[in-house]
Structure 1
Amino acid sequence: MDFHSLAQRYQTPLYVYDFDKLKENFLGFKDAFAGRKSLICYALKANSNLSLLSFLASLGAGADCVSIGEVKKALLAGIPKYKIIFSGVGKRDDEIYEALREDILFLNLESFEEMKRVEKIAKELGKRARISVRVNPNIDAKTHPYISTGLYENKFGVEIEVAKEMYIYAKTSSFLEAVGVHFHIGSQLCELSPILEASQKVADFYKSLLALGLEVKFFDIGGGLGIAYEGEEIIPLYDYAQGILSTLKDCEPTIICEAGRRIVGDCGVFLTKVIGEKSNSHKRFIIVDGAMNDLMRPTLYQAKHHSYILGKENEPKTPCDIVGAICESGDFLAKNVLMPSSESGDLVVFENAGAYGYSMSSNYNTRTRPAEVALIEGNPKLIKARESLESLWANELELL
């Protein structure tokens, strides 16, 4: 990739995505589960650019959505309604209404209370709501606590005993149809054993539902597979798929996988230019035109993205922080990293920025969000224009 020409053409900060790599990653999941009924529902929260979604739709992707906005965007991108799932712990009644009206595949439910709300809305619409229940297996995912979701201390899902009561209730309801069971224990997972422990626990529960006469067709294994931000050993997709399937002996449900980061994470880079350097008696800072509002992960999770100054990879390096212009001490893109001496205009590349980069960006400090560019067979295409300042206040109303 010629990052210098891209930065000159589209300005910085800038997100660049390799769609050829995106295709390879998505097809890797399809191949891993080949021979079994499966549906790869891309998790929109990782990166919901419309062109990216449309590209994945052309490859056969479904969609894992956590807001009605994501549901609508998936439909707009051409993802069929029968491949769309609506998850999340805080669905509003109007969102449930819209999801049922759109007739998507099913809703992943997070509580008995939510199920009764879905039933009430389905009754008002004269529909049967297809549902799945998210089971919290109380398994430690061994990841950052902010992205762990499978312990009882987390807000997600219900205990198996409660889930069983929910399925029995649904079986007797005229407006609910329990079609799936779901679990998801966290994100950026690099150890297979917790996933398989959770899968075995939920698979045993799934088999008990079949024994009760419930026609549960979908076994939703969530997502969360990690990528190599700092040289982590990632889980091979073949081992992942075979491990999941081994917990489902004598059963052949349709496997649903809600992959996000593992599909798009290593497809993207974040480009930012050096504004200047400053030092004090204790610390050296490289100041760039990108900031925490553009790439939040380092501030939020203390996440680390491998970075380098383009063209100076082999020059002598000293410790520094890479920081932006936001008026917060937490505004940094890297801390205590080794970097060569930099000059205004140097281009800094942050790797593995395709997931939870742009999708978590904001307009804090009245800053415009970056442009997004796709590379398709090496050819650049603008897939989201840089915001204008005027657009930031276009919807604000003056006092009369």
Structure 2
Amino acid sequence: MTWGLETARATYNVAHWSDGYFDINAQGELVAYPDGDQTKPAISLTQLTEQFKQQGLTLPVLVRFTDILKNRVDTLTNAFTQARANREYNGKYTCVYPIKVNQQRSVVSKLLAHPSGLVGLEAGSKPELMAILGVAKEPITIVCNGYKDSEFLRLACIGQAMGHSVKIVVEKLSELTTLLEEIDNLGIEPAIGIRIRLNSVGKGKWQNTGGEKGKFGLTAGQVLSAVEVLKKHNKLHLMQMVHFHIGSQIANIRDIHRALRECARHFAELTQLNVPLNTVDVGGGLGVDYEGSGSRSACSMNYTVEEYARNVVNAFAEVCDQHNLTHPAIITESGRALTAHHAVLITDVIDVEKAPNHLNPEPPLENSALVLDEMWQCLQRLNPRMALEIYHDAMHLFSEAHDQYVHGLVSMLEWA
């Protein structure tokens, strides 16, 4: 096989994992397109590294392409704009960034500076909320998640008084009691959201944040109890949002679709109980195709950002149109999808490990284990048309040979 530009691109699968932000140029250098437009001049990482060395910097160096952050917000907001237009959806969309994903001030400031004005921030702790209040110079949407003591809740109320649109998500019934006390003491009324513990579970590395046995959110019974508590305190008008989160890096769009339908049903049922909901926060989960396979692998995703937006909009449009309800505003908390592409770690190659070179294996000896003979027969049958089938057979035989080696039925010489 002759090595060339297209071979390099195919070998490293750049077009699929990079989402158009990176490529290999004719000189064999990795290049970046910060705004995703490959018709514009590219930034060579090789030349960038040489500039670093001339300035006296030593590798490794972390490079941030902040224009990619803007383009990621563009991609997400444009996807929801198109989905809302196609469905004639009246609720607005807000892209909320959870700063726990990357708290670098340059990252947060760049996202907040997006010209659409549609970017808000999410705080999962008191220090994060303090950081948000310090960096947000203009009124923004702030979603407060996580464990909340009285100081956290008091700070969130102060954020509301500063002009921000603060939405405090209740994840435990005990938080609601403390929150109502702070509201009464301060005379400040932020919006209250309820995190619903869905039965739906997403498959992935962080799937345990969802499901009926998850430790976050309220069950259906607890949600109704929260409604009664708010009615008792004459604060039901503050319950304006429902929220769910089935996990991060959800690879399968069907898991997202199932969770959205369940949340949409909760929204409709609560609205019909005269709860004045006007916003749905669908949390995170929007994946990044790290490996570029477009599959349900934990490091991939089998859907596009546009398909994700359509699923979110359609789920709530369907249930609202069915029950003649006003379309709620939509909030997403997609941190990984906004920031994953923008940071590149450049480091020296310190070693190279090559794959074992057994391109011309010798046939097994006459008294060798049967499994080795079967593997040899697989090799003899190998051809392009049957490559995948033979690969699966060979992997099964390899596993069988390993088991036999562990049990002493295959020698080390044969295993090698």
Aligned residue runs from structure 1 range 120-159, under 5 A: 120-144=181-205, 146=206, 148-159=208-219
Tell me if the contact between 2:201 and 2:207 (Cα under 8 Å) persists in the aligned partners: no
CA contact (8 A) 1:178 1:216 kept: yes
Tell me if the contact between 2:98 and 2:123 (Cα under 8 Å) persists in the aligned partners: yes
Q: How many residues align?
A: 279
TM (norm. structure 1) is 0.65
161, 173, 183: which one aligns with 2:221 = 161
Supply the AA of the counterpart residue of 1:77: V
Alpha-carbon separation, structure 2, partners of 1:171 and 1:11: 62
Structure-2 residue corresponding to 1:374: none
Aligned-pair Cα RMSD in Å: 2.2
Change (3 A) 1:6 1:78: farther
Q: Deviations over 1:164-212 (max 9, x none)?
A: 2213322342456111000010001111111111111111111111111
Where relative contact order (Cα < 8 A, 6+ residues apart) is larger, the structure is 1
TM-score, length-normalised on structure 2? 0.62
- AA partner of residue 281 (structure 2): D
Structure 2 residue aligned with 1:205 = 266
Of the three residues 65, 84, 95, the one matched with 2:142 is: 84
Query: Conserved in 2, the CA contact under 8 Å of 1:54 and 1:79?
Result: no
For residues 30-85 of structure 1, the C-alpha deviation after alignment (integer angstroms, 9 at most, x for no partner) is 11111441110011111121111111111121111112222232233336444111
Contact (CA 8 Å) 2:143, 2:169: kept in 1 or not?
A: yes
Inter-CA distance 148–98: structure 2 relative to 1 (3 Å threshold): same
Aligned to 2:309: 241
Which residue does the alignment assign to 1:290? Answer: none
1:281-340 per-position Cα deviation (integer Å, ceiling 9, x unaligned) = xxxxx6xxxxxxxxxxxxxxxxxxxxxx8xxxxxx8348xxxxxxxxxxxxxxxxxxxxx
Q: Distance in 2 between matches of 1:28 and 1:212?
A: 36
| Contact 1:123/1:175 (<8 A) preserved | no
Residue 15 of structure 1: aligned partner: 62
**What is the CA-CA distance between 1:243 and the residue it aligns to?**
1.1
Q: Does 1:263 align with 2:338?
A: yes
Structure 2's unaligned 5+ residue stretches are: 1-43, 85-90, 295-300, 357-416
Among all aligned residue pairs of Structure 1 and Structure 2, give the percentage whose two residues are the same amino acid.
27
Which piece of structure 1 moves more, 23-32 or 226-235? 226-235
Match of 1:24 in 2: 71
SS in 2 for 1:256: strand
Q: Which has the larger radius of gyration?
A: 2
**1:119 CA displacement:** 0.9
Instruction: Provide the rounded CA distance (Å) in 1 between the counterparts of 2:175 and 2:346.
Output: 42
Are the aligned partners of 1:81 and 1:105 in contact in 2 as well (CA < 8 Å)? Answer: no
Write the distance in 1 (CA, Å) between the matches of 2:178 and 2:157. Answer: 12
Contact 1:219 1:253 in 2 (8 A): yes
- Tell me the secondary structure at the aligned position of residue 266 of structure 1: coil
Asked if 2 retains the 8 angstrom alpha-carbon contact of 1:122 and 1:175, the reply is no
Q: Which amino acid aligns with 1:242?
A: R
Aligned to 1:317: 354
Q: In 2, are the aligned partners of 1:137 and 1:159 still within 8 Å (CA)? A: yes
Candidates 92, 95, 105, aligned match of 1:37: 92
Change (3 A) 1:138 1:7: farther
Q: Which has the higher strand share?
A: 1
Work out which of the residue numbers 159, 165, 171 in structure 2 matches 1:102: 159
Q: Counterpart of 2:104? A: 49
Q: Distance in 2 between matches of 1:38 and 1:15?
A: 32
Range that drifts further, 72-81 or 118-127: 72-81
